[in-house]
Amino acid sequence: MAIYKKVRTPCIGVCSTGIGDNVCRGCKRFAHEVIDWNGYTEEQRRIIADRRDGYLANAVRSQLEIVDQYLLLSQLRHQQIRFNEDQNPYCWVFELLRAGASQIGELADYGLVRTPIARGASLVEVRRRIDEDFYALSVAYYQRFVAPGLQTA
C-alpha cells in the first residue's frame, strides 16, 4: 500500500473567487473547491492537485524543456527555493521562475532550455505566459466539464 503525503492547500494568497471568478487566478482551483477545501478528503484533494499539476506541467513544457532534472533539483536545493519534490519536475520549474525569473542568467545552469516558442522572450515573460496558459487550461476545463453540471434545468 502506497503512503501519500498530506495534500496542503494550494492557496497562494491571491484569491479572485471572492470577486466572482469561477476559477481562482492565484491557485487555479474552482470557486467551489476553494470554498469546500477543508471538507474534502485527502483523495479529493489529491485529485484536484493532480489536475492542477498536469495543467501547470503542460504550460511549462510549452515554454521550457528540462534536459537535466538532477541539475535542476540540485539548483533548487542550493538556491533554497521552496518546491514540492512529489510534484512533476515541470512544476518545480514554475517555482524556480516564480522565485527569481529576473535573476536567472543561464538556463543551462539549471538544466533547462527554451522551446522554440520561448526563444527571444525574457524569463519574466515566459513566467507570465506559463501562468496565463495554466489559467486558460483551468478555465477551459471548468467551462467544458464543471459549469454544465452546475446549470439547473
Summarised one tens digit per residue, pLDDT across range 39-92 is: 999 999 999 999 999 999 999 999 999 999 999 999 999 999 999 999 999 999
Q: Are 63 and 119 in contact (CB under 8 A)?
A: no
Q: Whole-angstrom Cα distance, residue 124 to residue 49?
A: 25
Confidence (pTM): 0.92
Q: Kindly tell me if the per-residue pLDDT of 6 is higher than 90.
A: no
- Tell me what pLDDT residue 66 has: 98
Q: Kindly tell me if the per-residue pLDDT of 113 is higher than 80.
A: yes
- Tell me what pLDDT residue 150 has: 79
